[in-house]
């Protein structure tokens, strides 16, 4: 599904923004609220939006940006989100750089990292309206990229602690996002050595 979206030619700037949001959120285990404003105007908080000035590139296969505040951050200290290329046929760094070139040409003096063609921060309605164009069905929604990213990391052999830290989960609740065969779930469980109950 992710590759299908990534390989669909973007017809305009907003389509490029959507593709970048969905691919970055998948790789970074990000919530929709980490990238987009709520659709209700009274709930919007510009202080929670990532800034263009926080973007850093680390070599050819990493980049980062600062998330000022998020749901699991009670002290509003923020987090550094590190995005790494994981698959050779899905270059998240190149996709992000392409978006940045277009964004910087269109909005060179704007502070928010994520901007629509009109110069506003995308909201949930923007994201979902673009997602719906792909006819992926009702089970694929805003949090699906977070779930898909966690599942992909588990398939790649990432440890439960690493997945929890990368997704900024404060508890083991992240395990509900793993949507795969029970064998994969079993691999994530702590293994207790078998201790014989009898003595020779």
Per-residue model confidence as pLDDT tens digits over 127-175: 888 887 766 655 555 566 776 677 777 777 777 777 666 666 666 666 6
pLDDT at 38: 80
pLDDT in tens, 32-60: 888 888 876 666 667 778 999 999 998 88
Residue 39 CB neighbours (<10 A)? 13
- What the block records as the tokens of 90 is 């899905």
HSE-up (13 A, CA, CB side) for residue 105: 7
Report which DSSP code applies to 146.
H
Question: Are the C-beta atoms of residues 153 and 162 closer than 8 Å to each other?
Answer: yes
Rounded CA-CA distance 59/6 in Å is 22
67 forms beta bridges with 79
Residues 6+ apart with CB under 8 A from 171: none
pLDDT at 30: 85
Taking every pair of C-alpha atoms in the chain, what is the biggest distance, in angstroms? 76
Question: Are the C-beta atoms of residues 16 and 102 closer than 8 Å to each other?
Answer: yes
Question: pTM of the full predicted structure?
Answer: 0.75
Tell me the three state secondary structure of residue 37.
strand
pLDDT at 71: 55
Instruction: Estimate to the nearest angstrom the gap between the alpha carbon of 41 and the chain centroid.
Output: 23
Domains of the chain, earliest start first: 2-139 (1.10.443.10)
């Amino acid at each position: 599904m992710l590759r299908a979206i990534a390989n669909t030619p973007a017809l305009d700037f907003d389509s490029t923004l959507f593709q970048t949001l969905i691919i970055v959120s998948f790789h970074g285990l990000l919530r929709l609220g980490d990238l987009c404003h709520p659709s209700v105007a009274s709930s919007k908080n510009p202080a929670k939006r990532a800034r263009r000035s926080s973007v850093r590139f680390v070599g050819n296969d990493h980049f980062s940006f600062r998330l000022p505040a998020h749901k699991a951050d009670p002290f509003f200290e923020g987090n550094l989100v590190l995005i790494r290329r994981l698959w050779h046929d899905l270059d998240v760094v190149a996709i992000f750089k392409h978006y940045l070139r277009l964004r910087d040409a269109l909005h060179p003096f704007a502070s928010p990292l994520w901007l629509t063609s009109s110069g506003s921060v995308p909201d949930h309605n923007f994201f979902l309206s673009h997602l719906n164009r792909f006819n992926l069905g009702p089970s694929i929604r805003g949090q699906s990229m977070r779930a898909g990213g966690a599942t992909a990391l588990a398939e790649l052999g990432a440890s439960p602690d690493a997945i929890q830290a990368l997704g900024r989960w404060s508890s083991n609740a992240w395990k509900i996002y793993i949507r795969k065969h029970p064998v994969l779930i079993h691999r994530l469980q702590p293994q207790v050595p078998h201790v014989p109950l009898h003595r020779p």
